[in-house]
Amino acid sequence: MNRNSIKIEENPFWIYYIAEDKNFNRHKVGKWMYFFNDVDFAEKICREAVENGVVAESKHSNAENGVCCFYLHFDDNEAHKRILQFFLDNKLIKRTKTGRLYNISFKLDDQTRAGEYGKNFSSEIKLEKFLNLDTGEWIA
């Protein structure tokens, strides 16, 4: 795959991986998230996603356990398919005991800025929009 040039930025809480051509509309951008317990793996997948052009930006929390965020515009279906295929290829979507994919959610940054977490968070874009949760086959 073609490797993009990326910029890496750090602060005490996050490590960002940013493509040089990143251009997000603040009110259209959101993220698919992966919760991890191995920061080395988090670094690897966040870096790969940006270097390989899956997303223009990703980040992970700067701790041994935390969250990875993969950014895209909510209305870019091709970008949703790219990142979800990346999630599938890297086994980032957990399965239930019966083998069904968990119906993970896409979260807008506007929702994060508004403090929507836990019971106060509701997503309009979920995995079931793109994949059959039982078979893993593409719907859209």
99-129 pLDDT tens trace: 999 999 999 888 888 777 777 777 889 999 9
2-57 pLDDT tens trace: 566 899 999 999 999 999 767 888 889 999 999 999 999 999 999 999 999 999 99
Count of CA atoms in the C-beta half-sphere (13 A) of 110: 10
52-69 pLDDT tens trace: 999 999 999 999 999 999
Number of helices (H) and strands (E) in the chain: give both, helices first.
3, 6
Q: How far apart are the C-alpha atoms of 31 and 24, rounded to whole Å? A: 12
**Domain residue extents for the chain:** 6-129
Residues in the chain, overall count: 140
Is the CA virtual torsion 43, 44, 45, 51 positive or negative?
Answer: positive
Ramachandran class of 14: left when φ > 0, alpha when ψ lies in -120 to 50, beta otherwise: beta
